[in-house]
A and B are shown apart, each in its own frame.
Chain A
Amino acid sequence: MGLALFYILIFPGFLFLGFLSLAFEFIDRKLYARLQNRVGPPWYQPLADLIKLAAKETVVPREAESRLFRAIPSFAMAATAAAFLYIPIWGKTSLFPFDSDLIVILYFLTIPTLTFFLAGWFSSSLYAEIGCIRAMTQFFAYEVPLYMSLLGPAMLAGTWSVSGITEFYSSNPALALCNLPGLIVAVFATQGKLERVPFDIPDAETEIVGGTFTEYSGRFLALFRMTIDAELVVASALIAAVFLPFFIPASPVFGFILFLIKVFIVVFLLALMRTALARLRIDQMVGFCWRILAPLSLLQVLIDLLVRGVLVS
């Protein structure tokens, strides 16, 4: 019991994830700034922002569904933290690997988006409503390509367990190269999941002010921000585990350093995308997902099926 609590609350649970998310938020912001010819924030800025936001007055609109309005941010954070428990971070296996945990991770990663929708809906604000409808529309567009892009590698590895997938590809690194289209799809879809440029349509400030989070303030908003940072880490870690399973050493310390490097690479790609692109319109975003990402992920599934056929025969 004591150990389980330690896992959940301290390592690799809330505290560790929180620390990691703040660190990667800093890296993301610093990269973004340097790419834009700016100096960027000091290393403690994300923490300072979090503390300051948490210390601010929290306003709950009279019109809003008060209890849900307060509860929703916690759900978002909890789901993200739960997903993190099943991702291997220092070696080839996660802390609690079980068969088909990939599905569970994807399921947990779906919950934050749903909470964004609910948060917007229960705020009873015009901007928030438009934002949450956009969040939902966007959700249906990127989620299918994301699932299919992860389905391919899993089929090739013949397992639904992330630890199993990592193990399979680290013993056959050449086969991981088959998953390149899937990697591209997953990176784009992750950007959509995190609602960042060019897919920051649900909270496009110049159009609908704060979008889903218009009515949120104080510690609830801080919790949402934290969730998005944590999602960044979890999603990047998932991509690293499934698509970049190279050179995993036996030592957990080196394994962990390598894990950080891989997550950094994914975060760098995401920051680069944010720097180089402008925000799309919702119809353009949906069109992009269905016309380009979905076929690309189908192609991925096809490649993996063929390779698997060759391997088995």
Chain B
Amino acid sequence: MEKEASILQEIAKRFISLEGAGLIPAERRIYLEVPQEIFMDVIKFAAKELGFKHLCTITGMDSASCFEFIYHISNDDGIVLNLELKAQKENPVISSVLPVYNGAVFYERELEGMLGVKVSGLPEGRQYPLPDNWPAGQFPLRKDWKPDKTAKEEGPDGKN
């Protein structure tokens, strides 16, 4: 667990406000909540200087009071750093990590489609993974979304 602890220390050294934050619940697993203001700096720092070169994926979640995003990034020692980011429920916007992780397009597009969060800096493109004729404003992974609702919005008869 020393490696994991030293990674947290490195981050705290650079970002004073993260002093004492972070959890190491298991071997090779670090959880760290990062405020939105410094999030891009932290993830850039982790990618470029701490060797977390691989973005495993981004998990998007609808917690009761806010949206939660977890960026799972890993390094060559198999340590996964889970950076947690929160965004408010009304008009949520997060910035894209594409400049840091070039392969993140589909992960971010998935957040846009499934949770209805705006990812600023993501290039235009076909939505993923929902079909083209999916009704606007329906975001399946939100907790208040129920499958039956869309069935009524666009029924199979094509009318309603």
Q: Do chains A and B touch in the complex (CB under 8 A)?
A: no
What is the interface of chain B, defined by CB distance below 8 A to chain A? none
What is the interface of chain A, defined by CB distance below 8 A to chain B? none
